[in-house]
Structure 1
Amino acid sequence: MRKSTLSLTEAGIVTAICFGLFIVFSFQAVAAGFPEARFTDEGFCSLVGLELVLGAGALAYLRRRQFDIQALYPAPTLRGSLIGLAVFGLSWVAAQLVVALFHTPGQADMVEVSFEDVSASSAVLLAVVNGSYEEVFLLGVLVRGLRGFGLSVAIGVPLLVRVLYHVYQGPTGVVAVGTMGLVMTLSYVATGKLWPAVLAHILLDIAPML
């Protein structure tokens, strides 16, 4: 029988596979003084390939551990899409409001990001793959898998992981990502469905590139 919960060791291994490398890259950027993030089509394609490889490795591990990976498919529905649009809007507004509380006028506390060398097709491809990758493993695996340790752990640990691999974006970026991540996490906890959070994440990834 397939299981839907994880031990702390299993959760740690999945985290290391899916996000360990990105956490290292993120902290390397912090150590380098938060350099400008300049994205290109080649970089986006490399990131898509890396996420597909790491995702396949994590799914293979979860299958060996008898985890129910069938439930990780974010099945699109009309109702789920409408909820996803609402989650997208709420996440965006909540992030702007929270960031406004922490932002110091005249202080540059968010890393500059350039999308000048990115085509629309690669931007959409990355948004779809990255949005699915992050929410499937953060919500579908970690939030769902850790619920046996209590709701605070199931929400808090994946949210911490999400923040750690986004520290390269600077203090304001971390606050924004944490806020949007919390809204998407709560939507998953409330509905039990991955698609609304995945759709919201895809839209949140595309919006800055426009």
Structure 2
Amino acid sequence: MTRSTTVRDWIAPPPPGTAPLTDPRTRRLVGLEVLVVLSVTLGLSAVRSGLSLLDALLQPVPLNEQQVALNAPAAELGLIDLALQLTRVLQLVGWGALGAYLLLRAGFAMRDVGLDRRRPGRDALGSAGLAALIGIPGLGLYLFARAIGVSVTIAPTTLDDTWWRVPVLLASAAANSWAEEVVMVAYLITRLRQLGWSENRSLLVQALLRGSYHLYQGLGGFVGNIVMGLVFGRVWQRTNRLWMLVGGHALIDIVAFLGYAALSGHVSWLP
């Protein structure tokens, strides 16, 4: 008789050090650390995003007639705007660096979470596959959600056509992907493993949190990013390759940011 397949059969062996912690004080400190990290990074973004959606729903204008810009001007003077855009990029890089640093302090090497250069070719192919798997259906979901009135109109960029627009959009895409995948996947799931959470429970929590800090986009962004979180998180659990996720996420954002900048106003199907 063949053995039935379980969740563990689909999960890569966790790196050393991820066994559930037994010391009560250490468990409390790790739990507190997780709450602190989320409160200053993407968890706080989820709260702001939920409030933003509530405000949008209370407006007299229908949700799909309201617009949200992902990369918007932050100042009137061009060089100050550039500085503010780069400050936002630096903040995101710092969020991801915080998650990576805390894992290092906890005794994990970056190779333990898939941030190494052992498989650049396979990581690049995996990134392209993930980008296609999530990006193409994600665009369809957004257009459908907007058509039925449960999503705002998303403008990936409203930056002026300046010499620094493309570099800033590329940097923003890279910083978004770095912050989200390091904090949500590598850091959060690793710490939840140490607290004794199951792989499925950890996966679901990080996916729901990922969807929550995209609530400002409406129901489409919420559902789409939950699906993305489930897929990306499970891929990491199976392969333990974080660069694959960072690359895939960055490709999705790059296509969205630069594609919108190039096509906006030139094609009828793009709001």
| TM-score bracket, shorter-length normalisation | 0.7 to 0.9
1:44 and 1:29 map into 2 onto residues whose CA distance is 21
2:88 equivalent among 47, 57, 63: 47
> Secondary structure, in 3 states, of the residue corresponding to 1:37?
strand
> Secondary structure, in 3 states, of the residue corresponding to 2:123?
helix
1:74 and 1:62 map into 2 onto residues whose CA distance is 12
In structure 1, the residue matched to 2:67 is: 36
> Secondary structure, in 3 states, of the residue corresponding to 2:134?
helix
Counterpart residue type for residue 116 of structure 2: A
Counterpart residue type for residue 22 of structure 1: S
Is 1:112 the counterpart of 2:154 in the alignment? Answer: yes
Of 172-181 and 133-142, deviating more is 172-181
Of 165-174 and 6-15, deviating more is 6-15
Is the 1:37–1:112 contact (alpha carbons within 8 Å) kept by the matching residues of 2? yes
In structure 1, the residue matched to 2:6 is: none
In structure 1, the residue matched to 2:115 is: 74
In structure 2, the residue matched to 1:207 is: 255
> Secondary structure, in 3 states, of the residue corresponding to 1:75?
coil
In structure 1, the residue matched to 2:207 is: 159
After superposition, residues 172-183 of structure 1 pair within 5 angstroms as 172-183=220-231
Is 1:11 the counterpart of 2:34 in the alignment? Answer: yes
Structure 2, unaligned stretches of length 5 or more? Answer: 1-15, 20-26, 58-65, 74-80, 260-271
Counterpart residue type for residue 122 of structure 1: V
Go from structure 1 to structure 2 and tell me whether the alpha carbon gap of 1:96 and 1:87 turns closer, same or farther (over 3 Å shift): same
In structure 1, the residue matched to 2:48 is: 25
Per-residue deviation, 1:179: 1.7
2:88 and 2:124 map into 1 onto residues whose CA distance is 26
Is 1:134 the counterpart of 2:180 in the alignment? Answer: yes
2:156 and 2:17 map into 1 onto residues whose CA distance is 43
Per-residue deviation, 1:54: 3.6
In structure 2, the residue matched to 1:170 is: 218
Go from structure 1 to structure 2 and tell me whether the alpha carbon gap of 1:87 and 1:94 turns closer, same or farther (over 3 Å shift): same
Is 1:91 the counterpart of 2:122 in the alignment? Answer: no
Per-residue deviation, 1:81: 0.8
Is the 1:87–1:197 contact (alpha carbons within 8 Å) kept by the matching residues of 2? yes
Q: CA RMSD in A?
A: 2.9
Is the 2:185–2:233 contact (alpha carbons within 8 Å) kept by the matching residues of 1? yes
> Secondary structure, in 3 states, of the residue corresponding to 2:53?
helix
Per-residue deviation, 1:85: 0.8
2:214 and 2:146 map into 1 onto residues whose CA distance is 20
Which is helix-richer, 1 or 2? 1
Go from structure 1 to structure 2 and tell me whether the alpha carbon gap of 1:52 and 1:95 turns closer, same or farther (over 3 Å shift): closer
Structure 1, unaligned stretches of length 5 or more? Answer: none
> Secondary structure, in 3 states, of the residue corresponding to 2:236?
helix
Counterpart residue type for residue 154 of structure 1: S
Q: TM-score, normalised by structure 1?
A: 0.82
